[in-house]
Amino acid sequence: MLIGIVGKPNAGKSTFFKAATLADVEIANYAFTTIKANQAIGYVSTDCVEAEFNVRCRPRHGFCINAKRFIPVKLIDVAGLVPKAHEGRGLGNKFLDDLRQADVLILIVDTSGTTDEEGKPTTNYDVCNDVRFIIDELNAWMLQLLKKDWLMLKRKIKIEHISLVDALAEKFSGLKITHEQIKKAIAKAGLSETPDRSDEQLENFVCCLRSIAKPIIVFGNKIDIASKQNITKLEQFCQQQGLSVVFGSAEIELALREAAHHGLIKYVPGSSTFEIFAREKLNEKQRQALSKIKMFLQEHPTGVQEVINKAVFGLLKYKVVYPVENEKLTDKDGNVLPDALLMPEHATALDLAEAIHSDLAKNFVAAIDVRTGKRLSKDYVLKHNDVIRIVTS
């Protein structure tokens, strides 16, 4: 699972990325601070089934606090995007290639309206414009990729009699786009099988494909300094566009996670409270900062964990499945509920076996639903929170 962090320069992408991963990246109040993409591990969170089974889990990857299970996901923070990047403006759109493997994108918007589309200081900027132009740029990037090889693809379809779906799937295989997604996009765009298509038809197809294969969720950032008007405006605009939006502050989440990392507070990412461990260890500045943060949290959570969760579970509809080796819910080393795996919407018991180890899939006999003891076939479609034991030959 790879989550791409996109947006214009200075919107707070690296702040968001650092808050989610605690990776050491550069953050600064000017445009194009990030030039080379950063990748690190963040976490998606879910209610752990340990509470239901009345056990204490011991995760092999990620962690669990107060029955909230944090499952690792990869995040990538890319350079800022400006209008007409696909024509080479700003840093161009070559760096968009960094997003090829992304499953979902979080679009960071500076809701304060104090930076223009190039990330320079301004006032009263129309915050909806960021969503508009970034989506246009992403679509233009994909269209460019398609147009570059369109003549060659047409020839393949005509001479080698390759189907349109196969030809497009081959073209977009480097963008982690599946046959199924191409088929859906062709149907949604009403693209015909005839090889001659207008530019408009291709544009429409790419637009559909992008929304299916690289879905977007908006994060309205910097609400600590944003006006209510801007928040409402962006919320209504996203609603009109059929986009999910979460509001918050990456900077406040970063402060909380760093304070927790340094042992000053106990903070479970995503919660709207924190606990100060050692008040005497805090200096006056830290005390003031934490009391400001407390006031912010009374009004609003920081939104960082929420938007990651919504991207994975809401947009992508992934499920969490716990594979175990026996009815005691452990692996062979005695770790309780050792793994929580993120599985795609339609994944089956056999897909789960494959995700654990290809040998398990090869020797698959059945899966057992540990809750009920029921035997499940390889085609069983996994449900969220399933606890499964795989039986092999």
Least Å from the CB of residue 120 to ligand GTP: 11
Q: Is 125 helix (H, G, I), strand (E, B) or coil?
A: coil
Instruction: Find the part of the chain contacting ligand GTP (CB under 6 A) among 24-32, 257-265, 278-286, 321-329.
Output: 24-32
Where helices occur in the chain by DSSP H, the ranges are 13-21, 50-53, 128-148, 150-159, 164-171, 179-189, 199-213, 228-241, 250-261, 284-299, 304-309, 349-356, 358-362
Q: Confirm or reject binding of residue 15 to ligand GTP (CB under 6 A).
A: yes
Q: Confirm or reject binding of residue 23 to ligand GTP (CB under 6 A).
A: no
52-91 residues in contact with ligand GTP (CB under 6 A) are 79-80
Q: Confirm or reject binding of residue 27 to ligand GTP (CB under 6 A).
A: yes
- Phi/psi at 187 (5° precision): -65, -45
Least Å from the CB of residue 170 to ligand GTP: 33
Q: How many residues bind ligand GTP (CB under 6 A)?
A: 25
CA dihedral 372, 378, 383, 385 (to 10 degrees): 60
Q: Which of 123, 134, 131 is nearest to 81 (CA)?
A: 134
Binding residues for Mg ion (CB under 5 A) = 13-14, 33-34
Q: Which of 285, 220, 289 is nearest to 250 (CA)?
A: 220
Task: Pick what 55 binds: Mg ion, ligand GTP, none; C-beta below 5 to 8 Å, kind-dependent.
Answer: none
Binding residue for ligand GTP (CB under 6 A) from 2, 32, 65, 391? 32
Determine the distance from the C-alpha atom of residue 347 to the mean position of all C-alpha atoms in its chain, rounded to a whole number. 19
* Helix pair angle (179-189, 164-171), 10° resolution: 120
Instruction: Find the part of the chain contacting ligand GTP (CB under 6 A) among 5-13, 239-247, 303-311, 334-342.
Output: 5-13
* Cα–Cα distance, 65 to 345 (Å, whole number): 26
- Residue showing tokens 């295989």: 173
Q: Confirm or reject binding of residue 113 to ligand GTP (CB under 6 A).
A: no
* Cα–Cα distance, 136 to 61 (Å, whole number): 37
Q: Confirm or reject binding of residue 257 to ligand GTP (CB under 6 A).
A: no
Q: Confirm or reject binding of residue 299 to ligand GTP (CB under 6 A).
A: no
Q: Confirm or reject binding of residue 12 to ligand GTP (CB under 6 A).
A: yes
Q: Residues 213-232 vs ligand GTP: string with x where CB under 6 A? A: --------xx-xx-------
Whichever of 90 and 323 has its CB closer to ligand GTP, that residue is: 90
Whichever of 114 and 181 has its CB closer to ligand GTP, that residue is: 114
Q: In degrees, to the nearest 5, what angle opens at C-alpha 325 toward C-alphas 322 and 326?
A: 105
* Cα–Cα distance, 217 to 63 (Å, whole number): 25
Whichever of 68 and 222 has its CB closer to ligand GTP, that residue is: 222
As given in the structure block, the two tokens for residue 280 are 């005497």
The residue with its CB nearest to ligand GTP is 80
The residue with its CB nearest to Mg ion is 34
Least Å from the CB of residue 220 to Mg ion: 18
Task: Pick what 249 binds: ligand GTP, Mg ion, none; C-beta below 5 to 8 Å, kind-dependent.
Answer: ligand GTP
Provide the binding-site residues for ligand GTP, judged by CB under 6 A.
7, 9-15, 27-29, 31-34, 79-80, 119, 221-222, 224-225, 249-251
